[in-house]
Amino acid sequence: MRVLGIDPGLTRCGMGLVEGDVGRPLRLVDVGVLRTSASEPVAVRLVTIERGIDAWIDEHRPDAVAVERVFARSDVSTVMGTAQASGIALVAAARRGLPVALHTPSEVKAAVSGSGRADKAQVGAMVTRILRLDAAPKPADAADALALAITHIWRGGAQARIDAAVAASRSRTPAGTRPRTVTGPAPARRRA
């Protein structure tokens, strides 16, 4: 599975592509940051981000896109820019029919470091270790994008298998019937 992780931001939008499967070593494919200038109008900055994301998707052909879920901070202008960049990422992926997943910052931190309260340095160190890199990707937006991709492979891949199994079991159920559900305690076992 090849996942493009996107850490949305209006000034810096982290992009990280990771390849691998659950239970196997993951591999860094590419990492970078799309940058826009605060002196440009917001609409122009969003077009720059859109073109950058489109180029990454066209070049790398990911199987899925993982985007950081926007959460409220005290600085409303930061939240607005992040939300706008996030929307661009969602549209770029959806336009190509790619599956898109949103992961919260604490979910990503917990997945890669074991703690939902890990700081940026801890996340960067764990991304470096997981991907067997010589140094942590800089800036932190790049490491965060890779952490999103890792999280999606580890968690999203498992969820995709569960969803596929549920869909397969539904398709095996005869039309017009419902699967039998057993409730109550399990029958007692006799000891020999």
Asked if residue 187 is part of any domain, the answer here is no
Active site residue 19: no
Number of domains in the chain: 1
- Is 68 assigned a ligand-binding role in the annotation? yes
pTM above 0.95, yes or no: no
Instruction: Read off the CATH number of the domain in which 14 is found.
Output: 3.30.420.10
User: Is the Cβ–Cβ distance between 80 and 65 less than 8 Å?
Assistant: no
- Is 7 assigned a ligand-binding role in the annotation? yes
Token digits of residue 87: 């929307």
Q: Which of 40, 54, 107, 141 is catalytic?
A: 141
Active site residue 21: no
Q: Which of 40, 54, 58, 68 is catalytic?
A: 68
- Strand order in 2-7's β-sheet? 27-35, 12-19, 2-7, 64-68, 100-103
Asked if residue 174 is part of any domain, the answer here is no
Asked if residue 170 is part of any domain, the answer here is no
Asked if residue 89 is part of any domain, the answer here is yes
The pairing of strands 12-19 and 2-7 is antiparallel
Q: Which of 7, 19, 50, 144 is catalytic?
A: 7
Q: In the block, which residue shows the tokens 């074991």?
A: 114
Per-residue pLDDT of the chain (192 residues; tens, 9 = 90+): 999 999 999 999 999 999 999 989 999 999 999 999 999 999 999 999 999 999 999 999 999 999 999 876 667 778 899 999 999 999 999 999 999 999 999 999 999 999 999 999 999 999 999 999 999 999 999 999 999 999 999 997 666 666 667 777 777 756 555 555 545 555 555 555
Active site residue 7: yes
Range of the domain at 116: 2-160
